[in-house]
Structure 1
Amino acid sequence: MDKWEENLGNTREQLLHEISSVGFDEFNRRVELNKWSIAQVCHHLVISEKLFTKAIMVGLEQKNPPEAEHMPVHFVSDRSNKIQAPKISEPSSEPFQVLQITQLLNDSRNKFMDILGQIDDKSVLKVIAAKHPIFGCLPLDQWVELLYLHEQRHIEQIIDLKSLC
């Protein structure tokens, strides 16, 4: 198992653990009007993962992919660095059931892993890049790394939200 597979698996396991015992009201409660609920954080993660999957697919399909340097994406892990979610990844304001979000998370992860599983030579992920809304031209292997770093960031947010309920 690759390191990124292990990190993706461990992070998702932690996310599912954090939301598994949350009731419907707590899951959908917004502690402040301008803050997301736990459900919205999770829905944002589903949307983001779908967008990451699409970005990797587009990157792999490019005839002349742009070259890109590796970026310091680890700053995403530090929640003191405020990052505005791109409009395209903003969650729905509709309420969600935990089971419904769990299924959406499972579906998006399965699609993401299917795409990665179709790549015979994973080293191409280091040399092919796709445009990221925050980092610009980002090598595909960093899209994979960013996925679990982004999820870890939001797990911390969920833990904070649970402590406020």
Structure 2
Amino acid sequence: MIVSHPRRTIISRHEQFHLAQQALRRLDRGTGLIALGASLIVGAIAALIWLQPHLAPVPASIAINLMTIGIGAACLIAGWRRYSFHRQLRAATAITDAPMIDCWIENAFEGEPGVIAWELVTSQPDGTEVRLRQAQLIDPSLVTVFQRAATVPVRYVPANPTVSALIIE
């Protein structure tokens, strides 16, 4: 059972799950994916160079190595995106109070973490307003603290408001 405490609008269970998944992905800094991708690529290239003369032109060995290189490249790209997100977040200087959307304990993930969702409203340089719904995993004991809050302090990058995080003291 999910104990939800909506503030502004009631969000669907599907959106809650999507926001919780997004928050869970943000915990990973990407270094493991970068290391995995690099080792897969190096191993596949080494196998192509050293093992291929011994195997003759066996199409399966070439296909497996090329597929491994593709998987390694995908891991490198995903790891770099996560790493650059955290690098940009460390450099973020803008702080604002964002309206809290909802606060709940997510039972679909191991350990049942608390999740807090907010809506960040910023203006782009051309004057258009951007509304982004973001979420962050928190300790389940903090859910009761945030239940009473109407807004939460958020640190973000003005040039890229998708890079934002809750400020927890």
One fold, TM greater than 0.5? no
Higher helix share: 1
- TM value normalised by structure 1: 0.29
Bigger radius of gyration: 2
The structure whose residues are more often strand, as a share, is 2
TM-score (norm 2): 0.28
- Bigger relative contact order, structure 1 or 2 (CA pairs below 8 A, ≥6 apart): 1
